[in-house]
Each structure stands twice: as structure tokens, then as C-alpha cells.
Amino acid sequence: MSPNYPYNCWYVGATSDEIGSQPLGRRLLGRPVVLYRAPSGEVVAMEDRCAHRAYPLSAGRLDGDRIVCGYHGIAYDTQGQCVHVPSQENVPVGARVRTYPVIERAPFVWIWLGQPGAAALRTPPATPWLVEPGWASQGEMLHVEANYLLLHEHYLDLTNVYAMHAANMPPGIDRLPSLDEVEVSEMSVSYTRALPPAPLADWEAEATGLPHGPEYHRREQGFFVSPALHVQKWAIDTDAGAFEQLRIHGFTPESPTMTHVFLRIAHNYQTDRALVSAHLRHFFLDMTRRDAALLEVVQRQLAEDGEPRRGINVKADRAGLRARRVAQAMVAEESGRPALRAVATAGG
Ligand code: FES
């Protein structure tokens, strides 16, 4: 399977707490990358491959703000420039490794692996629920053996919950209503659906502390913010305001069949109660692991069939298909192919 992800996009490369004084090696978009934190606090990202004999720099060590290869000891500065060769006085002309633009917005470290000059034209998407007062969040990282678009499509069609997680749905609602509207822009897709009033599911009551008995309206919203980020919002409307819980997924392809999932669970109520955050984290992490196990089966099935896309589409697929088309158009643009052709064949 060839890469179906755009490079000219900010992706989550790591979480802030992963990056310290030890080099972190990670394959992102098919490329080996090493990340580390310089003594100044700045995060540095560069090709994880020594310019000498291809040994991974992540297997080396840090010396101040330099990274030192673990094979023959060649050192590089934060710009990727070779600055020291232990066995000779001078460094070879042009000896360097590629560095990548990085923007740290805790808890995420965003990385740009596309055209170097294009990074400044875009910024990483905002994730206010992870930083602003009035919200609490926790997270986890998963490694899923599935293409990143399978993950996007899965979370843009929540109708799968009745087959996969039926016990977690509000009692008395046996299916999700149709999508009210799917909005599409150049790089994003979003939808909203309103649910009929129903009592709380056990997990909702436990998290919110609201009484079980009354019926509540809910809104479910999904956002394909970019090929790198999906957000799903589940809001319970009450007279005292909306009790919102969000699943924020950073999807970063490791390869066409493997995806790093940077999961964050955020909520806007009882933000000072660690037990509530822990409950939501445990609840959604359990669901995410079951989702991942299913998608890995689908990925293996697609690989064994040798036919990457063959299947009918139903109405609930609308948002997922739109997202796939956005990603395909971006890939087509990067490759110089006409974007419209990619859109026309996107559902196939
Ligand atoms: S391979 Fe890195 S110094 Fe030789």
C-alpha cells in the first residue's frame, strides 16, 4: 500500500512529557525521526539517521544541545549541522542531517515533515480544551496497526457504537439519528446530530453526578479538523448548561498500515475531581482499545484481499467519505495530480 497521507500538514509527533534529555526515536509518515529537548527547553527534531553510516541518532546520547552518534561519535547541533568528528580536525563539507520544524503546544509536540518552506504558511490546529481554564484532560498513546483514514472514518461514523458498545448508549435510544448536516471546508469536515431525550447511561451518571432518572437532550458532533486531528464531542444539555466530554485524537501515520494515536479525553465539569477524569479516561480508553482491535482486523482483511477499497456506502458514511476526499485531494495536490480527479474516485 502506498502512502495516502499528505506531508504538508502539522502532525502530532509526540507528547511533551515524552521528550526529555534522552533522544526519542519514532517513525513518522514513513520517516525515521529523532526528537529531544535541548537544555534551553527547545524541542529539536531531525532525521534519525547519521550522515556517516546510517546509524540511528536516537541510539546515541545528548551532549548539551548536541546529539552524538553512538557509532563513531560524530556530533550534530540543533540545526542538524555536523560540528564534530572525533577522528579528525575538520568536519566534512556539507555534512548534516535534515531537521524538521516543531511547535510545542503542550500536551502535543507538532511536527512538519512536508516541504520546508511551506511550514510557515500553516499553523497546528488549536486544541483549547487541553489548555484553557474550565477544562480537565488526560491522555494515552496507542499504536494501531491500521491506516489512519480507517481511524478517521471509524470515528466520523458513530453508528458503530450499537454493534460495538451498545451498553454505553443512553437507555431507550436504539439507534443514532441521521446526521443533521455535514459541513466541508478546504481541509476540514464536521457534522452534528441531536439525540432524542433519554435517561443517562451508567457512565454518564457516574461521570457527571447528574441524577439518573430525568431525560436529557444530547448533541453528538464530529470534527475532521485536518488529516492529523479528529475531535468528537458528546454534550448532555441541562438547565445548568452543557456537560461536555471530548475525545481528541491525534492520528499520525507511522506507515500506510500503522498509526500513532495520541488520545486525549477532556471534560468541562467537575474539573477539580481527579476521580472523574480517571473514570472518563478509563471508560474511553477501553472503548478505544476495542475500536483499535476491530480496525486492525479490517486492515488485515484489506491487505489479504489486495483490494484496498471495495464496499458499499451508507448514509452514515457521509462525513467519513468527505474526510477521505479532503485527504485524497491534499495528497493529489502534493503529487501534482489534479485534485478533482481524486475527489471523483474517492469513495471507490
Ligand atoms: S554512523 Fe554515526 S558516527 Fe559513524
Q: Using one digit for the tens of pLDDT, what is the confidence trace for 83-136?
A: 999 999 999 999 999 999 999 999 999 999 999 999 989 999 999 999 999 999
Residue nearest to atom 4 of ligand 1 (CA): 72
Query: Model confidence over 288-301: pLDDT tens digits?
Result: 999 999 999 999 99
Atom of ligand 1 nearest to the CA of 85: 3
Domain extent at residue 191: 130-344
Q: Which of 72, 85, 88, 97 to mutate to test the pocket of ligand 1 (most atoms within 8 A of CB)?
A: 72
From residue 90, give the alpha-carbon distance in Å to each of 60, 74, 80, 84. 21, 11, 16, 7
Tell me what pLDDT residue 93 has: 95
In a domain, 234, yes or no: yes
Residue nearest to atom 3 of ligand 1 (CA): 72
The answer to whether the CB of 8 falls within 8 A of the CB of 330 is yes
Q: Is 53 in the pocket of ligand 1 (CB under 6 A)?
A: yes
Q: Does 236 lie in the same domain as 135?
A: yes
Tell me what pLDDT residue 344 has: 36
Query: Model confidence over 7-42: pLDDT tens digits?
Result: 999 999 999 999 998 999 999 999 999 999 999 999
Q: Pick the residue with more confidence: 320 or 84?
A: 84
Query: Model confidence over 276-287: pLDDT tens digits?
Result: 999 999 999 999
Query: Model confidence over 168-188: pLDDT tens digits?
Result: 888 888 877 777 678 888 789
Rounded mean pLDDT of 40-57? 98
pLDDT above 90 (res 270): yes
Q: How much of the chain exceeds pLDDT 70, in percent? A: 95
Query: How many A from CA of 49 to the centre of ligand 1?
Result: 9
The CATH number that applies at residue 256 is 3.90.380.10
Tell me what pLDDT residue 143 has: 97
In a domain, 59, yes or no: yes
Instruction: Give me the half-sphere count of Cα atoms (radius 13 Å) on the Cβ side of residue 192.
Output: 5
Query: How many A from CA of 339 to the centre of ligand 1?
Result: 42
Q: Does 312 lie in the same domain as 294?
A: yes
Q: Which of 47, 52, 76 to mutate to test the pocket of ligand 1 (most atoms within 8 A of CB)?
A: 52
Atom of ligand 1 nearest to the CA of 51: 2
Split at pLDDT 50, 70, 90, the class of 342 is very low
Q: Does 109 lie in the same domain as 15?
A: yes
Tell me what pLDDT residue 346 has: 32
Least confident range from 102-106, 152-156, 278-282, 302-306: namely: 302-306
The CATH number that applies at residue 23 is 2.102.10.10
Q: Does 154 lie in the same domain as 70?
A: no
Beta partners for residue 181, in sequence order: 192
In single-letter form, the type of residue at position 241 comes to: G
Q: Does 114 lie in the same domain as 19?
A: yes
Average pLDDT, the chain: 91
Q: Does 84 lie in the same domain as 200?
A: no
Q: Does 101 lie in the same domain as 18?
A: yes
Query: How many A from CA of 101 to the centre of ligand 1?
Result: 24
Q: Does 184 lie in the same domain as 166?
A: yes
Tell me what pLDDT residue 309 has: 64
Rounded mean pLDDT of 248-253? 98
pLDDT above 80 (res 162): no
Beta partners for residue 159, in sequence order: none
Q: Give me the number of domains the chain comprises.
A: 2
Tell me what pLDDT residue 158 has: 80
Cα Rg of the chain, angstroms? 22
Residue nearest to atom 1 of ligand 1 (CA): 53
Atom of ligand 1 nearest to the CA of 50: 2
pLDDT above 60 (res 152): yes
Split at pLDDT 50, 70, 90, the class of 311 is confident
Grid-cell match 471508560, residue found: 283
> Rounded to two decimals, what is the model's pTM?
0.93
Atom of ligand 1 nearest to the CA of 60: 2
In a domain, 1, yes or no: no
pLDDT above 80 (res 80): yes
pLDDT above 60 (res 48): yes
Q: Is 75 in the pocket of ligand 1 (CB under 6 A)?
A: no
Rounded mean pLDDT of 39-60? 98
Q: What is the three-state SS of the chain? A: CCCCCCCCCEEEEEEHHHCCCCCEEEEECCEEEEEEECCCCCEEEEECCCCCCCCCHHHCEEECCEEECCCCCCEECCCCEEEECCCCCCCCCCCECCECCEEEECCEEEEECCCHHHHHHCCCCCCHHHCCCCCEEEEEEEEECCCHHHHHHHHCCHHHHHHHCHHHCCCCCCCCCCCCEEEECCCCEEEEEEEEEECCCHHHHHHHCCCCCCCEEEEEEEEEEECCEEEEEEEEEECCEEEEEEEEEEEEEEECCEEEEEEEEEECCCCCCHHHHHHHHHHHHHHHHHHHHHHHHHHHHHHHHCCCCCCCCCHHHHHHHHHHHHHHHHHHHHHCCCHHHHHHCCCC
From residue 290, give the alpha-carbon distance in Å to each of 61, 157, 311. 37, 15, 22
Q: Is 69 in the pocket of ligand 1 (CB under 6 A)?
A: yes
Tell me what pLDDT residue 308 has: 61
Rounded mean pLDDT of 29-57? 98
The crossing angle, in degrees rounded to 10, of helices 274-305 and 148-155 is 120
Rounded mean pLDDT of 334-344? 60
pLDDT above 80 (res 339): no
Query: How many A from CA of 50 to the centre of ligand 1?
Result: 6
Which of 121, 148, 175 terminates a domain? The answer is 121
Q: Does 253 lie in the same domain as 148?
A: yes
